[in-house]
Chain A
Amino acid sequence: MMCSINEENLAEETMVATPKLSVTDAICRRCNILKAQVLLRKTDPYCRDCFMKYAVHKFRSTIGKAHALKHNEHVLLAYSGGLSSGSMVKLIKEGLDFSESKKIKMVFKPTLVHIDEGLILNLSKHERKETTDFVLEQAKKNGFDVYICSLEYCLAPDLNDLKLEMNSYQIEPSIYESQLEMLFGSVKSLTAKEDLLIRLKQRLITLLATRLNHAKVFLGPNATRLAGQLLSAIGQGRGAQIAHEIGFTDSRTGTVFLRPMREFVDKEVAYLANFLGVDSVCLPTLSSKLGSTASIGRLTEDFVVTLQTNFPATISTLFRISDKLKSNIADLNPSDCERDSLCLLCLSAIEESSVCSASTARHISQTFSRSGPSGHPSDDLRTHPLQSVGTVRHQDSTSCSSNCNSQGKPCCKTSNDQIKSDWSAVLCYGCRITMEDVKQPELMPINYLEELGLRSRRQVMRQSVEQFLL
């Protein structure tokens, strides 16, 4: 084997594990008076008061520096019942109550929103009720209003008919229940399931925000989660969307999603929750009780957590670099960007694939290993040595191999492939991978299917007049 050092990338300053600090009787590094109660980044001891000052300042500056909120604006807080979003709610509550004259009070009007995901997690009605009761109780404790909605409504075209009650929730049977179960049941891999859940949940929260007339939503993921999601996004080909998926603001859906907890690592959230007296419920996820290689999301999150314990700069390094990144696709204003060029599922701009790119390489590998040499006569290539082989189109419907030359009958692949290729034309690279694993895409929300049909027809129109377009 070749040397494992890649000369192109040699570490100028190789990551070094920080030496352990002896913490017995350490004094707070900030006030230099009190005995430290917490240790951050393995080297910085803080006392309780100084830690809270530091945390509150960080929270407020994360929100403040983005200038994302208007005075007295209504904001939805997505509250799962977990530690991270629980701490977010509590920090906001304290920020609103804050009366020390020197400091500026936080001025916006929060309402909580909770998505009941119990259905796809196979929880019993009783277990679901326990969680939602907890959410209702927490909202009451903090003096905020709360709306709870069940996940299956993500399949509804809109929420106009939904009975949405403030501060109360009943699990009621709905027409979307079995559709959602079947949709998730048809997904081949856990990775795709988790990605689909992210997309559909974002859709549901957007629908809720629209129905409740809120333009902004706070989400609760912390730095550790987001660092894992960053690597997970890279692992699923979502390079162009890093800024949206990890950054403070995500405005792809029209509703603005903000992540005020993004600068706290797991450990800081735990301290915060402890000092603030935050109650939480233990929330199962799709990958609960499964090993660390259950899905890409789970794998990368465990990877980050393990690496962080040995190299405490891991998460902050990932954050620093992701804040410097943007999409390669020209920054288009969503309003003047043609809807056709946005991904149906995640509403990101669809990447253009050049002849020499990974997405083309992926596509031709699949075409080549299904069509073989006879499908692509090599003479074609020989005529232009060292010249481009020609644009490879993604919409190419791969013709079926000689395996199914049954005359008269429709080819075995075409009907199914037709749906597949229609989807692939309206999705970004990342969502395309996810949808490849969804075996019954016809169960997706009806608006998606309508838009899909519309775009396919437009595509046909465009092709027929292509030669006249300048």
Chain B
Amino acid sequence: MVVFCSTGCGSTAVLKRPKTDDALCKNCFFWAFETEVHHTITSTKMFQPGQLVAIGASGGKDSTVLAYVLKHLNEKYNYGLKLVLLSIDEGITGYRDDSLESVKRNQEEYNIPLTVLSYKDLYGWTMDDIVKQVGRKNNCTFCGVFRRQALDRGAVLLKCDIIATGHNADDVAETILMNLLRGDIARLQRCTFHITGSDGSLPRVKPFKYAYEKEIVLYAYFKKLDYFATECVYAPDAYRGHARALVKDLEALRSTSIIDIIHAGEQLAIKDGVKLPKQGLCSSCGYVSSNIICKACVLLEGLNRGRPKLAIGKSNKALAELLAERLQNAASIKTTIQDQF
């Protein structure tokens, strides 16, 4: 049986759209996917003409398709943006090596300049080294904390105005459920914002915020885009896995569930009088932090002192320890100065 494209264009449909269950032909799907991303970009006024945009590129499907679509839309609609690819090399043998190859191919095919920054350059440690120190249980904490800052630092180095990441609708829905389950009210509210981190750090945007993961894969499949699909060799966060499984099950029950969850998340507001952690700047590195010293600095300090587990779990305790030490140092400097005069 031949199924025709539901737009009535007359072509034979080749796919069932995961988001709406409509049967579409290849071209109408491309058009719908791209126009929806375009709508997300324009309606939120994500970019300003002339901006230099760093695309966080991991070599995976999301960032590969993001680079392709952003380049395409930029040309088609004259956004007037300059695009660069920014990759972070965590130093994980067998995971990052291969995906970096894929990013390098993107660079050539799409003709977008690429910069690779490594944890080794930025922090003096590769993930492989860190895992040797902390074992495989808490390593993801290091990787995640470091990566967030690494993208930011890299983009600043490249004099970029804004960072675009490949987070898709599935990721956002998963994050909403995750923050609910973890009771993290501040992040629950922040995670649905269109633009985050504009205070103190570079603004970040997610052009795929409303794009389904499955549609991104379909897009890559029919456009024959090459990406590298692999799981990190170090075990992923088990608790997040529960939220992810729930999102997938909900999507299977009702295809619009993912967007429905995001809608629910967007409608949430915090009651008056509920205290939220204040965001300030890290006194050590100047990065956004809800504490006097940011998590990355505390983690790094622990690593450098040979006490890598210092900041895992209760970070306040670690922080207090660090601060006490710094005060002592300051006091001793003061006495030395006084002695000298």
Q: Contacts A4-B237, A233-B264, A234-B265 given: A389-B36 contact, CB under 8 Å?
A: no
Q: Does A356 contact B (CB under 8 A)?
A: yes
Report which residue of B78, B144, B148, B175 has the largest number of chain A beta carbons within 10 angstroms of its beta carbon. B144
Say if the beta carbon of A329 comes within 8 Å of chain B.
Answer: yes
Whether B8 contacts A382 by the Cβ 8 Å rule is: no
Tell me if B9 and A1 are in contact (CB < 8 A).
no
Chain B positions within 8 Å of A373 at CB level = 7, 9, 27-28, 31
Within 8 A of A (CB), among B272-315: 272, 274, 295, 313-315
- Evaluate contact between B271 and A7: CB separation under 8 angstroms: no
Q: Which residues of A contact B313 (CB under 8 A)?
A: 13
Partner of A374, one of B7, B61, B262, B266: B7
Q: Is B333 an interface residue (CB 8 A)?
A: no
> Roughly how many angstroms separate A187 CA and B253 CA in the complex, as a whole number?
15
Chain B window 151-186, contacts with chain A (Cβ cutoff 8 Å), 1 for yes, 0 for no:
100000000000000110001001111111111110
> Is residue A372 contacting chain B, with contact meaning CB distance below 8 A?
yes
Q: Are B39 and A364 in contact (CB under 8 A)?
A: yes
Chain B, Cβ-Cβ closest to A230: B180
What residues on A are CB-neighbors of B295 within 8 Å? 12
Q: Evaluate whether A4 and B244 lie within 8 angstroms (CB atoms) in the complex, with A328-B268, A356-B194, A373-B28 already known.
A: yes
Q: Using Cβ atoms and an 8 Å threshold, which residues of chain A touch B61?
A: 1-2
Tell whether, in the assembled complex, residue B45 and residue A6 are in contact, meaning their CB atoms are under 8 Å apart: no
Q: A8-B196, A368-B35, A402-B8 are in contact. Are A324 and B271 (CB under 8 A)?
A: yes
Known contacts A189-B254, A320-B183; A381/B35 CB under 8 A: yes
- B80 at the A/B interface (Cβ < 8 Å)? yes
**CB closest chain-B residue, reference A325:** B268
Contacts of A385 in B (CB 8 A): 42, 49, 77-80
B140 within 8 A of A: yes
- Interface membership of B198, Cβ < 8 A: no
A10 contacts partner chain B, Cβ-Cβ < 8 Å: yes
Q: Which of A132-140, A145-153, A236-244, A268-276 contacts B (4 or more CB under 8 A)?
A: A236-244
Is residue A359 within 8 Å, beta carbon to beta carbon, of the partner chain? yes
In the docked arrangement, what's the CA distance between A32 and B41, Å? 63
Tell me if B141 and A10 are in contact (CB < 8 A).
Answer: yes
Q: In this assembly, does B71 line the interface, its C-beta being within 8 Å of a C-beta of chain A?
A: no
Residues of B within 8 A of A1 (CB): 60-61, 229-231
Tell me whether A2 and B269 are in contact (CB under 8 A): no
> Could you tell me if B8 and A372 are in contact, using CB atoms closer than 8 angstroms?
yes
Task: Flag if B143 contacts A293 (CB, 8 Å).
Answer: no
**A 333-377 to B, binary, CB cutoff 8 A, 1 in contact else 0:** 000000000000000000100011111111011101111111110
What residues of A have a CB within 8 angstroms of the CB of B144 in the complex?
A: 3, 5-7, 10
Inside 8 A of A2's CB, which chain B residues have their CB?
Answer: 58, 60-63, 166
With an 8 A cutoff between CB atoms, is B107 at the interface?
no
Contact A351 to B267, CB < 8 A, known contacts A362-B259, A372-B5, A385-B77? yes
**Interface membership of A255, Cβ < 8 A:** no
Within the complex, the shortest CB–CB distance from A112 to chain B, in Å, comes to: 33
Complex contacts, A277 vs chain B, CB 8 Å: none
A5 partner residues in chain B, CB cutoff 8 A: 140, 143-144, 147, 236-237, 240
Whether A13 contacts B314 in the complex (CB less than 8 A), given A4-B244, A191-B254, A433-B256, comes out as yes
Question: Which A residues touch B219, using CB under 8 A?
Answer: none
CA distance A130 to B263 in the complex (A): 43
Q: Taking A4-B236, A10-B141 as contacts, is the C-beta distance between A299 and B250 under 8 angstroms?
A: yes
Do the beta carbons of B246 and A303 come within 8 Å of each other? yes
Set of chain A residues within 8 Å of B196, measured between Cβ atoms: 8
B270 touches A378 (CB 8 A): no
Q: Interface-forming stretch among B15-23, B108-116, B128-136?
A: B15-23
Q: Are A433 and B260 in contact (CB under 8 A)?
A: yes
Q: How many Å lie between the Cα of A231 and that of B254 in the bound state?
A: 15
Smallest CB separation, B274 vs chain A (Å)? 5
Establish whether residues A366 and B20, one from each chain, have CB atoms under 8 Å apart when the complex forms. Answer: yes
Smallest CB gap from A296: residue in B: B253
Closest chain B CB from A11 CB (angstroms): 7
A326-B269 in contact given A365-B20, A369-B6, A381-B77 (Cβ < 8 Å): yes
A366 to B36, CA, bound (A): 11
Contact: B267 with A240, CB < 8 Å? yes
Query: A365's contact among B9, B36, B145, by CB below 8 Å, is which?
Result: B36
Which listed residue, B5, B171, B271, B314, touches A6 by the CB 8 Å rule? B171
B101 to chain A, nearest CB (A): 15
B253 touching A386, Cβ below 8 Å:
no
Partner among B20, B229, B267 whose Cβ is within 8 Å of the Cβ of A239: B267
A 304-326 binary contact with B (CB < 8 Å = 1; else 0): 00010001001001101101111
Closest-CB distance, A21 to chain B (whole angstroms)? 20
Chain B contacts for A370, CB-based, 8 A? 6-7, 22
- Within the complex, the shortest CB–CB distance from A95 to chain B, in Å, comes to 29
A240: nearest chain-B partner, CB-CB:
B267
CB nearest neighbor in B for A361 = B210
Query: Would A358 and B58 count as touching, CB distance under 8 A?
Result: no
Task: Say yes or no: A9 contacts B7, CB within 8 Å.
Answer: no
Per-residue A-contact encoding for B216-239, CB less than 8 Å = 1, 0 else: 000000000000011110001101
For the complex, what is the distance from the CA of A300 to the CA of B257, rounded to whole Å? Answer: 13
Beta-carbon contact of A356 and B6 below 8 Å: no
* B187 at the A interface (CB under 8 A): yes
Complex contact A372–B9 (CB within 8 A): yes
Tell me which residues across on chain A come within 8 A of B200, comparing CB atoms. Answer: none
Nearest CB to that of B77 among chain A residues? Answer: A385
Is A202 close to B, CB under 8 A?
no
Q: Is A423 an interface residue (CB 8 A)?
A: no
Q: List residues of chain B with CB within 8 A of the CB of A368.
A: 31-32, 35-36
What 14 new A-B contacts, CB under 8 Å, besides A374-B9, A387-B42?
A7-B147, A8-B148, A11-B182, A11-B237, A13-B315, A230-B180, A325-B269, A327-B267, A362-B256, A362-B260, A368-B31, A369-B19, A385-B77, A385-B80
Nearest first, the 9 closest Cβ-Cβ pairs linking A and B are A372-B7, A401-B8, A239-B264, A239-B267, A237-B260, A358-B263, A361-B210, A10-B144, A7-B148
19 examples of A-B residue contacts, CB within 8 angstroms: A4-B231, A8-B167, A8-B175, A9-B175, A13-B315, A235-B250, A235-B261, A235-B264, A239-B263, A358-B262, A360-B43, A361-B36, A376-B35, A385-B49, A385-B77, A386-B47, A386-B79, A387-B45, A389-B38
